[in-house]
Amino acid sequence: MAIYTLVKLKNMTPLHIGTGKENYDFSALDLQSDTLSAALAAMKVQNGENGDLEEFLNSFTISSAFPFVGDRYFLPKPQGKMSVTISDGEEYASRKKLKKIKYIEVGLWNDLVAGKEVSVKERQLQDKFLLSIKDDDFRMPYKAQVNQRVTIPREEGIDADPFFFEWVYFHPDSGLYCLLDTQESQRDDLIRLFKQLGEFGVGTDKNIGGGKFDVEMRKLSLPEIEDSDSQLLLSLFIPAQEEVELLNLHDSCYDLLQRGGYIAGSQEMDFRHLRKKSVYMFNVGSVFKTTGRLNGKVVNLRPHWNEELLHPVFRSGKPFVIPIKLKR
């Protein structure tokens, strides 16, 4: 088994993850790897640790954040057809339910990525979650709720402007976690930055307590598959030019995600209204029909605006990949 550092984000306060658009009535549910790594880099800058941030981002890989409930951890469903059957369900209805699945509990996930055929009971499917065992008491780790708020104008005589804002609320024993792959010598430093980030918060409205969390470090064992034939993404990924052909895209199952948005994490207030350049990344759950080493790259999304004043805006596209064997 391969053992990874698991960073548990516990006791999380309500979270709003922007989508890069000004639609506050909708929060993304995915806290992506590039957001997490950039937030850790921002903590270094805030501490006055002004080393080479590009070198820092190249020194580790991090997964996107996935849900947990107590000590039950969930990983993303691989792209493509799953080797799963529902033993007590009608075939057409079962296929529809399986299509909705987004996360699979680790024990069952381990079997699937090893190429095994899995049979489950209908009650193991709970909305977007596929459980390892039947559990009628299973509770969703989070729920979204839209609240009405108002913008108070700074000028007198102008009415307050109402708008809607969606928060994601986590149950007390639930939250998000991510996986780290780094040198032993750097792990403690990254955990220190995570703890600082937990006090600072992630997402929108950190100044009123949004997105704060406590940190707990664990280990997670995932299978090492000797006869693997593919690789599964647990993060976002930007391939280096020389890696594109290696991905064997014709035989792979993948999804692309556009990343951009405002430079909200800048230490300079004057820069926060600026939009980063956009870039497309391979999304979490993408499966590449290759066993070659994938390194990815860090890109600078600094917009074309007074480049003498504006700092670089780095985003990590380094992949967190797991070797797998899937039946096609």
- Tens-digit pLDDT profile for residues 129-138: 999 988 888 9
Number of domains in the chain: 1
- What pLDDT, on a 0 to 100 scale, did the predictor assign at position 68? 97
pLDDT for residue 206: 80
304, two tokens: 């074309």
- Select the more confidently predicted residue: 314 or 152: 314
Q: Is residue 84 in a domain? A: no
For residue 178, is it within any domain? yes
How far apart (Å, rounded) are the C-alpha atoms in residues 167 and 155? Answer: 28
* HEC string for 72-125: EEEEECCCCCCCEEECCCCHHHHHHHHHHCCEEEHHHHHHHHCCCCEEECHHHE
Spatial distance between the Cα atoms of 99 and 97, rounded to a whole number of angstroms? 5
Answer whether 251's CB lies under 8 Å from 290's CB.
no
pLDDT-based confidence at residue 150 (cuts at 50, 70, 90):
low
Report the distance separating Cα 204 and Cα 163, nearest Å: 15
Q: Kindly report the CATH number assigned to the domain that includes residue 282.
A: 3.30.70
> Is 121 within the bounds of a domain?
no
Residue 280 belongs to a domain = yes
Q: Is residue 277 part of a domain?
A: yes
Q: Of how many residues is the chain composed?
A: 328
Residue at 188 is within a domain:
yes
Q: Does any domain span residue 83?
A: no
Residue-wise pLDDT for 158-173, tens only, equals 666 777 778 899 999 9
Sign of the C-alpha dihedral, residues 212, 174, 99, 283? Answer: positive
User: Which pLDDT score, from 0 to 100, does residue 1 have?
Assistant: 78
From 8-12, 106-110, 206-210, 268-272, the region with the lowest mean pLDDT = 268-272
Burial class (CB in 10 A: 0-12, 13-18, 19+), 250: exposed
- Domain span at 22: 2-70+141-324
